[in-house]
């Protein structure tokens, strides 16, 4: 029953972010900041000390405090929040890719995650691509969540697998290339849809702040 509930939640949430992620991002930025910071803190602890994701009290404590700090920074500084989300996704993509080759922990994986985070966040800020980066990240994340819900419902992935992986990207990539291809197709559909429906919508810091009042 827990698996079914998680799968349905992932399906609904994933569908919303796949098609309307850019608008949802307005209100969700500090919340995203917390979870991104929590994941970065816990995942860094796991990679450096070799324990499973959130398998130790240290991972939970470090993740919580970093998440809290990042949530506050995301609320007061819009650009920090955008860069943080981009960095978290860059790190997740890097670790998910390395897992295809059996590399899941260690210094090499940590360095790859760091490079992925810096590259994606840096390109986002340097090229002033915040709008399109938000659209791409929400569409990619939404598509991943939709596919993950299907894998959970059909028993291809378990909740224990998600906990051990430390991110939602790795189980999709490890299952089969077919689901990776479906993920890409869904993400492209979401990106095109969001770009078409948000051509005249400009995401500004003022909108972000007003969304919390």
Task: Tell me the domain boundaries of the chain.
Answer: 2-210
pLDDT of residue 129: 73
Residue 30 confidence (pLDDT) above 90: no
Instruction: Calculate what percentage of the chain has a pLDDT beyond 70.
Output: 71
| pLDDT of the residue at 186 | 92
| Chain segment 153-210, per-residue pLDDT in tens | 887 777 666 655 555 566 666 667 788 888 889 999 999 999 998 887 765 655 554 4
Mean pLDDT score of the chain: 75
% of residues, the chain, pLDDT over 90: 6
Judged against a pLDDT cut of 80, whether residue 25 lies above it is answered with no
For residue 213, the model assigns a pLDDT of 41
- Residue 212: pLDDT band (50, 70, 90) is very low
Q: What is the mean pLDDT of residues 1-23?
A: 83
Q: How does pLDDT run across 86-108, given as a tens digit for each residue?
A: 787 787 777 777 776 766 666 77
Alpha carbon distances (Å) from 11 to 90, 143, 149, 163: 23, 9, 5, 18
When mean pLDDT is compared across 63-72, 94-103, 137-146, the lowest value belongs to 94-103
């Amino acid at each position: 029953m827990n698996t079914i509930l998680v799968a349905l939640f992932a399906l609904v949430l994933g569908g919303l972010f796949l098609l309307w992620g850019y608008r949802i991002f307005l209100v969700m930025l500090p919340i995203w900041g917390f979870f991104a910071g929590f994941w970065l803190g816990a995942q860094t602890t796991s990679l450096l000390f070799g324990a499973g994701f959130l398998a130790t009290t240290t991972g939970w404590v470090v993740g919580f405090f970093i998440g809290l700090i990042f949530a506050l920074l995301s609320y007061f500084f819009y650009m920090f929040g955008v860069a943080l989300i981009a960095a978290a996704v860059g790190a997740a993509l890097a670790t998910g890719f390395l897992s295809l080759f059996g590399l899941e922990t260690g210094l090499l994986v940590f360095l790859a995650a760091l490079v992925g985070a810096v590259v994606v966040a840096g390109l986002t800020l340097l090229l002033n691509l915040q709008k399109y980066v938000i659209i791409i990240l929400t569409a990619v994340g939404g598509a991943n969540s939709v596919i993950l819900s299907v894998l959970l419902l059909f028993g291809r992935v378990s909740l224990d697998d998600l906990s051990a992986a430390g991110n939602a990207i790795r189980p999709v990539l490890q299952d089969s290339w077919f689901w990776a291809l479906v993920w890409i197709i869904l993400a492209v559909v979401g990106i095109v849809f969001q770009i078409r429906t948000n051509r005249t919508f400009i995401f500004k810091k003022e909108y972000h702040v007003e969304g919390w009042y």
